[in-house]
């Protein structure tokens, strides 16, 4: 008899004022995945490569597909950890439910679980923001990841203080204390700023839409300077 290892799931739902076919396209087309998920995405058949630079790459397969209704991502068809996307039409909107299952329920996985949940909440917000505010517009992203020796609580306090003072003004959309916060920046055509504490690393990501390329390049030093709160 084989012992069953206890597992847990991340389960996040959002409602998007967009038709299901638009949401489905954003989940399955590489060009559109790069507008709300990873900075770069490449698809080859049922395989998709999602990258945040050369040192942070996800390679997934679409192992189950019911067009417009259900999509399953996994490393391999029998992978223990899977991501299911469920779509349901509701009054002209689309309800999107994300379930990442197979995560270990052991205490050693607590930090990873919290990071997964924070990340998925942000990505569903960004999916909704893209489809309702910037649909059809390519994304340019300025970002950095900075190592830190600060405790999570100290770094979080610094982040919140810096976010209150940042120029241009950031409007907080949602936060998970000591984990991550995402905000819109009206003066940058409703760009999205995502700050994430992941282990001993601070990630700072600014998703912009419809801004001139030279303006986005000018924002990279601003992102780099902001990340210095981690030092």
Q: Is the dihedral of CA 66, 69, 75, 81 positive or negative?
A: negative
Tell me how far apart the alpha carbons of residues 90 and 108 are, in angstroms, rounded to a whole number. Answer: 39
Q: What per-residue confidence (pLDDT) applies to 24?
A: 98
**Domains in the chain, number:** 2
Structure tokens at 117: 């949940």
End-to-end, the C-alpha distance of the chain in Å comes to 51
> Mean pLDDT score of the chain, rounded to an integer?
95
Single out the residue in 86, 107, 133 at which a domain terminates.
133
Q: What per-residue confidence (pLDDT) applies to 53?
A: 87
**Residue 129 shares a structural domain with residue 143:** no
Q: Is 181 helix (H, G, I), strand (E, B) or coil?
A: strand
Residue 1 has pLDDT above 50, yes or no: no
**Residue 156 shares a structural domain with residue 127:** no
Task: Kindly indicate the confidence band of residue 49, based on its pLDDT and cuts at 50, 70 and 90.
Answer: very high
0.85 exceeded by pTM: yes
Residue 78 has pLDDT above 90, yes or no: no
Tell me how far apart the alpha carbons of residues 127 and 133 are, in angstroms, rounded to a whole number. Answer: 10
Residue 3 has pLDDT above 80, yes or no: no
For residue 24, tell me if it sits in a domain.
yes
Q: What is the pLDDT of residues 138-149, one digit of tens each?
A: 999 999 999 999
CATH of the domain at 66: 3.30.530.20
Q: What is the pLDDT of residues 82-120, one digit of tens each?
A: 999 999 999 999 999 999 999 999 999 999 999 999 999
**Residue 55 shares a structural domain with residue 125:** yes
**Residue 152 shares a structural domain with residue 98:** no
Single out the residue in 106, 133, 160 at which a domain terminates.
133
Q: Phi/psi of residue 200, each to 5°? A: -105, 35
For residue 175, tell me if it sits in a domain.
yes
- 188: which DSSP letter? G
For residue 215, tell me if it sits in a domain.
yes
For residue 1, tell me if it sits in a domain.
no
Give the residue numbers spanning the domain of 180: 139-230
Q: Phi/psi of residue 17, each to 5°? A: -80, 70
**Residue 11 shares a structural domain with residue 114:** yes
For residue 2, tell me if it sits in a domain.
no
């Amino acid at each position: 008899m084989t012992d069953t290892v206890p597992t847990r799931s991340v389960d996040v739902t959002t409602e998007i004022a967009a038709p299901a076919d638009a949401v489905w396209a954003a989940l399955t087309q590489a060009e559109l995945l790069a507008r709300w998920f990873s900075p770069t995405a490449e698809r080859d058949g049922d395989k998709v490569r999602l990258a945040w630079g050369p040192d942070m790459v996800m390679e997934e397969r679409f192992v189950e597909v019911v067009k417009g209704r259900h999509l399953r991502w996994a490393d391999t068809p029998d992978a223990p950890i899977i991501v299911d996307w469920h779509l349901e039409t509701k009054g002209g909107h689309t309800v999107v439910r994300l379930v990442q299952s197979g995560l270990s329920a052991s205490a050693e996985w607590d930090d990873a679980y919290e990071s997964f949940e924070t990340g998925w909440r942000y990505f569903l917000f960004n999916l909704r923001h893209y489809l309702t505010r910037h649909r059809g517009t390519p994304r340019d992203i300025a970002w950095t990841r900075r190592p830190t020796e600060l405790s999570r609580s100290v770094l979080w306090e610094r982040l919140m203080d810096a976010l209150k003072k940042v120029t241009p003004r950031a409007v907080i959309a949602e936060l998970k204390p000591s984990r991550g916060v995402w905000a819109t920046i009206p003066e940058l055509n409703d760009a999205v700023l995502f700050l994430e504490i992941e282990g001993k690393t601070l990630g700072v990501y600014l998703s912009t839409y419809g801004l001139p390329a030279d303006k986005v390049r000018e924002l990279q030093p601003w992102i780099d300077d902001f990340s210095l709160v981690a030092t």
